[in-house]
Structures are given as structure tokens and as C-alpha cells.
Structure 1
């Protein structure tokens, strides 16, 4: 029994010794895990601090970049809404600030076969390059034009340059110059078809405009360029068209425009012995125009006042022109022009008639003339379009002054098709019939088929 008692006392003692021996190990184990956790926490804190520093550096770089972009935007403000210009700053160093420079034009190849009833149009003359009614040959009853003849050229290829400026005060300035190669060459090998087909540069337009004012050479204010039909020929309805480019001073405001233009008097001598130009004018030619525009098209009325002068002799004339374009829908439009006046000669049909006639005493008499055209344009689809137009001119001659060999009238009929396989590229063909009639009832006819390839840029 004593033995059992001693054994019972030993068990708690052994347990106490076991716990005493185990406690330091448990304590040591807990300390190692805590140290490992503390190490991991320290590493995570270091990584978080590095990420925060990188983010702050990136934000600083973004802010610096934005500041630089804002500075660039301030120096080069964004262009207005709409079609944006390719060029944002001036490339011509000598120009005014805020000037933009642009250029354009087209390359045009013309090929035509012509058949005239009463003789051949002289080789190298303007009538071989485009429809010019004054050069249709008119002969007697036995006249014969012979076989058809062909001409191929690229003289009407064109280019232009423009410098446009808007000042800080809102003033608009424009300088414009335009040229083509129609006008002949300057040496024996130029301007002919023998070897080089070289042709001289020809000034078409050169002017400067300031807000509502224009000074320089451009289309006459008496001409409505927007009414011209879509032609394969250089002009098309030449007979009844007002067609003049010349130096002038013009003022335009709203629908109104007024001009003082270069004067020149074309004269037929007594009984039509000769035709010549007189540079004796003192007063300019004065014009005025009113134009209304809308989604329906446009309508325009113009007036012309002129002085004629040859030597000590003077005269005067006046003319009116009504023109426009009327849209018949998305695919059709009508274009027209009607002209009438005393002394309208050099303004209509490339000078088919003269401005004035001299009598036997050397006095000037204004020549009355009338003309016009009407054209229908139809778009078959976005790539194919066609035009049909008729044009005519008539002069009220006095045969006792001008003779019976003067042109009494001219007329022409045209039909064309123009195909645009890609934008700005036109491939077209046009049939033309023209006729010129004299006061003695003689007539000469012209038949022509003309093709063209034209690329605008």
C-alpha cells in the first residue's frame, strides 16, 4: 500500500518535469514563427513603398507631359470644325503671320478629229484646239473642206498658287496666280508639232483681295463662270457665252458686286476691210452684278456700260446678261445664259463680232448683238454623267457699213459623256456640230468628235 502511494506521488512530479522541459521549446518555436512573419511583413511594406514611389514618379511624368502639350496647343490652336487644312503653319517664310499656302490644278489631254465643210482651219490656230465659231471656214458654193484632220495636245493643263491670310484683326487677304500652257512658244522649235511640242507659260489670273475688295486680273464681273456647262471642250457653248478675263478693281458685298475693268475697243473698218483693236479708251468698262443663291441653284443679273474710242471719235454701249443654274433634283440641272446689248462684241463668243463699226466718215457706230445657251446635265450614277447643250449668237449688222462678208450668226449643238472611274479623274467624249453664217447667206459647218483625259489635283 505504501508502494502504491509512492507511485501516485511520482506521476504529478513527472508531469510537472515534462511540462517544465517542454515549455522552453514551445516558446522557442513561437518566437521563430513570429520572426518569420515579421520578416515577411517588412518585405511587403518595402514592396508597397516601392510601388507608391513608382506611381508618384509616373504621375509626375504625366503632369509634366500634359504641361508641355498644353504649351504646344497654346502656340498652335486647333483648327475650326469642318474640313481641316493639311497645312497648319506658313511655309513661305516671307509671308505675313497666319498665312497658309496652297496649290492645285489639272493635267488635261485633248484629242479631236474635225471635219469642216468649206475649207480647213489653219494648223496651229486656236480653232484647232477648241471650238471657236469665228474660225469656222465659210466659202463659196464650190468650197470643200477635204478629209477630216486630227489634233492632239495638252496645252490646257493648268496650275495655280494661293496664299491666304487672316490677320489678328480679322482681315482676310488672298493672293492668287494661275497659268496654263496655251499661248504658243518663244523659239523656232517651240509651239509646233515638229519635235518638242513646247509651249510658253500663259497668265490666266493674278490678283490680290482684301476683305470685300479685289485688284488684279480675273474673270470679268460681267461673266457668270458658275453657269457654264460641264463640257469636254475648253469652253463648250462658246457662241453665246460671255467670256473675258482682264485686269480690274472690284467690290463685292453680299449679293452685289461692282467693277471697273480694262477698256478695249474692237473695230470693224468701213465695209469690213479689216478688224483691229483700239487702245485709245479713257474710261474703264463698268459692270454691276446681283446674284441670288440657294439649294435650288443660283440666279444672276449683270449690266455692262462701255465707252468706245478710236482716235478722236467716241461712242458708248450697254449690255445685260441673265444667267444661272436650276437644280431639278439630285441628278439633273439646267444651266443657261442670255445676253443682249449694244457694243457687246468682244465680251461674247471670243469676239465673234466687234464692238463698233466705222462709217465712211470715220465715225463709230456700236454693233448690237444677242446670244445665249441652255444646257441639261444628267448624272446616270456617281461615276457617269452626260450633258446636252445648244448655244447661239446673232449680230444686227448694217451691210451698208460692215459689208456682206461679216458674220451674222453662229450656232452649235453639243452632247457628251464623262466617266470618272476614281475621284478627280475624268475620261470624256463630246460630239459637236457648229455653223457660222455670213450676211450674204453663205454658211460653213464644223463637225468634231473630241475626247479628253483630265486629272485634277
Structure 2
């Protein structure tokens, strides 16, 4: 359709230009009519192609995106599942001499829309993956939100408390422990001031039982060399008839010291934050808020245009134990070593070694598990 309209506009323009040689024979009204036809065709072409998108519905541009991903993994000591859940390590029921598994549940499908309106640009997002409950491959909602102009976001998206820009890269779904990871319904306002300074404020639904919203605020500075961000959170959590305060702060940053190199780190500290973290420690234990401290470190390096490699480390330390069945934990630790190869722009082959360790808060013993994982991912 785009090429047809361009051709029609060009043809009319050529006719108009050719008419200059016959100016004495053409009347002024005929010239004006030709000019009007060219302007109408150009306006029609602009309306059809004015906003980018895979296709259009009325004045809305629509993009379909996502990927198909197949993961193959092998657990050497304890079965962790298709998300490399370190909390499973140590439990007798998960002990194994070696177990192979495969999954396509990380595959993802999303829709983005862009519409020009009297309120400015309206953007929508609806995204699903296949991580349904009970290990089944059924659609699960990830994101569903509306962005009004450049400042307002309403709907489900990553929590504002999460350092999304400094999240470590991994082949398996979770990544290192020690970092916030949650998608929640929210109302968020974002803006910028000065050169490189941004801030965002939000009211969000709590990931744990609560009758109150969670309030967050984040401030960030970034340039071509490094990024620094701080985020705070405040809310309440209810457990067993007891209400406790939930507070926390996240510090994160990254630096690119040379071409293709990346160092980044995150640090989180607070009370009753377990449901927001990868380790999913209990927020409340025995009527008391469970304090937690966590951090991640990552180094990545590009090797040419098609390869990149990295190592990520994560740790979570809780004051009070979280039960996992016959055992409980106060400490979790993970290491991810991975490599990614892009033979084409939209095809990625990857491999990863994962080490996980957890303690048993009752006996004082520690347990560890090893895992290797390979994946093929096609983006669209």
C-alpha cells in the first residue's frame, strides 16, 4: 500500500511539472486543481505511513513482537525445575544423580500499539509468556499497560523498585538471586530534568497480602560511560492478623570502561522485601518483618560482532528463616557463567553453567547444586 500511494503521488507531481511547459494553454484553475490533487495524495500517503508499525487499525499502528525459545538443561545434584530455582537445592525430595529436562515455556508474544490523539501519543502493551502454574504451557500475562504521552503509565509493568537497566543477563529465566523482580499493576509518573537526570514515582499493588498500595520513587543519572540509580519503596504487609512495615532501598549502577566491556552491580536492603526478590524469602516470620540484604555483580564482554560472554553473581541474606519443606534457609547464593552467539540478527544460540548454594538455618549445613543449560531463541 505504501509503494502504491508513493507512486500515485509521484505520477501526479510529474503531471504537474509537465504542465509548466503548456502554461499558456492551461488555465489557472486547472493548475490549482493539479496542485490540490498532489497535496491530497501526499496527505493520504502520510496518513498511511505516519506512525511505524507492522500494520494499522484505523489510526493505530500495531507491532507484534516476541520470540520462540527452546531450553535444554541438566541438573547434576538437585532437580531445580525449568527456572533454576535455587530454593529447591538441599531438599531430599529433589535429590538426583542427574536429570535432563527441556522447556519452551519462556517463549513470548506481545503486541504494542501507537495512536496519536488530542492527549498526545497513546501507547499500549499486551504481553504473554507460557509460564502458567503447575508447570503447564499456557498463556500467562506479563505486561498490560497504557502509556499516555511521555509521562504517565497505567497498568501492569515492572515494579519501579526494580533496577531493570542493570538486571544481569542469563540463559535461564530467573537469573542471579539478590535482585528485585516483579511485574505489578501500577500508576507511574516519569519525567526528566537537567542533562541525563530522570525520576519516576509510582503507586503499585503489593506482591504480598496487603490492604495498602506500595509507594516507590526512583532517581537516575546516565551518560555514555556510566549509569547510577537509587530507588525507594514503602508499604505494609499483613500476615496472620499482624501488619508490618515494608521498606527498602535499591542502589544500582553500570560502567563501560572500554569498547564492548560492561560492569554492573545492584544492592538491595530493607524489611519484608522477600516476595519482591528472586529468592522469594518470607516477608514475615513469627509476626516479625524479615530483614534482607542482597546484591548482584556482573561482568560482560563482547567478542566481535556475534559473540558475548559474561559472569554474574548474586546473594541474599535474611535475618529470619524461610521454610522450603523439611529445610529452611537464610542464605542463598548463585553464579551464572554464559556465552551468547548471534549467527543472524534475530537468532541466538546460548549456553550457561549455573552454580547454586543455600544453607539450612536449623542444622547449619549448606547444600549446593550444579546445572548446565543450552537454548535456541528466534526473535520476531
- State the TM-score bracket (shorter-chain normalisation): 0.7 to 0.9
Q: Which has the higher strand share?
A: 2
Give the number of the structure whose alpha-carbon radius of gyration is greater. 1
Q: By how many angstroms is 1:210 displaced?
A: 1.4
Unpaired runs of 5+ in structure 2?
1-18, 193-197
Gap change, CA 1:453 and 1:164, over 3 Å in 2 = same
Specify the alignment match of 2:52 in structure 1: 85
Matches within 5 A, 1:4-403: 56=22, 67-77=36-46, 85-86=52-53, 91-93=56-58, 97=59, 99-116=60-77, 120-121=78-79, 127-139=80-92, 145-167=95-117, 169=118, 171-184=120-133, 191=136, 199-211=137-149, 212-237=151-176, 239-254=177-192, 255-265=198-208, 279=209, 281-310=210-239, 312-351=241-280, 353-358=281-286, 364-397=287-320
* Residues in 1 aligned to 2:334 and 2:240: alpha-carbon distance in whole angstroms: 37
Unpaired runs of 5+ in structure 1?
1-52, 122-126, 192-198, 266-278, 359-363
Residue pair 1:229, 1:387 contacting (<8 A) in 2 also: no
* Residues in 1 aligned to 2:346 and 2:94: alpha-carbon distance in whole angstroms: 41
Q: By how many angstroms is 1:389 displaced?
A: 1.3
Specify the alignment match of 1:424 in structure 2: 346
Specify the alignment match of 1:270 in structure 2: none
* Residues in 1 aligned to 2:160 and 2:147: alpha-carbon distance in whole angstroms: 14
Specify the alignment match of 2:13 in structure 1: none
* Residues in 2 aligned to 1:215 and 1:365: alpha-carbon distance in whole angstroms: 33
Specify the alignment match of 1:31 in structure 2: none
Q: By how many angstroms is 1:403 displaced?
A: 12
> What is the SS of the residue equivalent to 2:294?
strand
Q: By how many angstroms is 1:398 displaced?
A: 7.1
Q: By how many angstroms is 1:183 displaced?
A: 1.1
* Residues in 2 aligned to 1:164 and 1:355: alpha-carbon distance in whole angstroms: 39
Q: By how many angstroms is 1:259 displaced?
A: 1.2
* Residues in 2 aligned to 1:144 and 1:67: alpha-carbon distance in whole angstroms: 75
Q: By how many angstroms is 1:350 displaced?
A: 4.4
Gap change, CA 1:288 and 1:73, over 3 Å in 2 = same
Q: Which has the higher helix share?
A: 1
> What is the SS of the residue equivalent to 1:292?
strand
Q: By how many angstroms is 1:297 displaced?
A: 3.2
* TM, length-normalised to structure 2: 0.84
* Residues in 2 aligned to 1:144 and 1:290: alpha-carbon distance in whole angstroms: 42
* Residues in 1 aligned to 2:257 and 2:346: alpha-carbon distance in whole angstroms: 24
Q: By how many angstroms is 1:128 displaced?
A: 1.3
Q: By how many angstroms is 1:63 displaced?
A: 9.2
**Alignment length (residue pairs):** 351
Once the two structures are superposed, residues 273-300 of structure 1 have per-residue CA deviations (whole angstroms, 9 ceiling, x without a partner) of xxxxxx4x22111111111121113211
